[in-house]
A and B are shown apart, each in its own frame.
Chain A
Amino acid sequence: MSINATLIGQMITFSLLVWLTMKYIWPPIIAALEERKVKIAEGLAAAERGQEEIKLAEKKAKTVLKEAKEKSAEIIGSAQKRANELVEESKMQAQKEGERLLEAAKAQIEQEMLQARENLRKEVSALALRAAEQILKEEIDKAKHQDLLNRTAEQLG
């Protein structure tokens, strides 16, 4: 139990260990720790920024959505209006067309009626003439009474 040269040996070992620690062990580990600290701080800051950005984006999305809704309502309104107009227009057109067709049909009918009447008249006059001829065969001289006959035919016509 005495102090001896072991002391010197131990001191040499000790200084060697301290030197090795100082040179090769302490700096890299502390550097890694510091770097991690910085990284974590950066990560936290980024997360905060991200949160802020999310809030902004949400706000923006809300306004955009609102705008879009308004716009769509507007579009739907105008479309409805246009549709109504279209329906109204086509209704009117159809009515006009119908009226025109009706008019045309009426005109044709009129014309045909006139035609028929004319024909009828001609036939009736011819018939009457023939009947009159039959009756008056003997008494009437065609050449003598040509004028009268013509007048009658004209009157009938």
Chain B
Amino acid sequence: MASEGGATGYIVHHLTPLSVGEGFWTLHLDTLFFSAVLGCLFIWFFKSVAERATSGVPGLAQNFAEMIVEFVDTQVKDTFHGRSELIAPLALTIFCWVFLWNAMDMLPVDLLPMIGSLMGMEYMRVVPSTDLNGTFALSLSVFFLIFFYSIKVKGIFGFIKEMTCTPFGPWLMPFNLMLKVVEELAKPISLALRLFGNLYAGELVFILIALLPPVVQPLLGFPWAIFHILVITLQAFIFMVLTIVYLSLAHEDH
């Protein structure tokens, strides 16, 4: 497995995305492809359930989907007390999509890159959440929604007032503004970096385990995989809950 370049080469190879284009207009094809496929998987499953949704005795698939939907719905209702058509579906999408992204980490690290290399693709990084673009796309979308809802609920002046006059009153306006800007910017950055960091580290550990002698690999890979089931679910959950919290904060009028 560790071919040219030894261990370092192997690791770097695994963490290099398949990309086209130059500079900013680079596209990570693997991230785009896998997240789109997983998104379709998510939509397909829930759509098939939603079409056959019955208020009678639910089937196996409906039961599973309802469990997730109710779980998300409970989280939303616990945190967010207004009425919104968007937040609950948004939370469901984030939870499922991020979970599926993270779940790609459970596939053997060499499986898909090997298939890809057989098809002539030199690089492949299969976990979209190990790509900063993937996690930042989510958190920046959430950030824009926070921005949008803050202005929508409080009005443009209310928003400006909150940015400038809290927490220390109007006399410390510049200081307030600075604090607020940092606070708001910290939200998307922490969201994206938390998910990215956890999954990147997890993937890196899998790659390192793959470098060990074959006899030792299952001894370490198995516990780490089990532990990782917790991590991938937890990270998806945290991302979802924080999104709900941030959006409900945006809805609150001080």
- Residues of chain A having any CB pair with chain B under 8 Å: 1-11, 13-18, 20-22, 24-26, 28-33, 35-36, 38-39
Contacts and interface: CB of A to CB of B under 8 A. Distances in A.
A16 B43 CA distance: 10
Interface residues of B, number: 49
B201 to A, nearest CB: 14
A4 B27 contact: yes
Interface string B52-66: 011110100010011
B175 to A, nearest CB: 30
Main secondary structure of the interface of A (DSSP, over half): helix
A32 B54 contact: yes
B32 A3 contact: no
B92 A11 contact: no
Given A6-B133, A14-B141, A24-B47, A29 B66 contact: yes
B26 A6 contact: yes
A154 B232 CA distance: 156
Given A15-B141, A18-B90, A32-B54, A3 B85 contact: no
Contacts of A15: 141
B29 to A, nearest CB: 9
Contacts of A14: 93, 97, 137-138, 141
B27 A36 contact: no
Interface centre among B53, B54, B86 (most CB of A within 10 A): B53
Given A18-B93, A32-B66, A36-B55, 19 more contacts: A4-B21, A4-B24, A4-B28, A4-B133, A5-B24, A6-B26, A10-B32, A17-B42, A17-B97, A18-B89, A21-B92, A22-B85, A22-B89, A22-B90, A26-B92, A28-B50, A29-B53, A30-B88, A35-B55
Contacts of B73: 30
Contacts of A36: 55-56
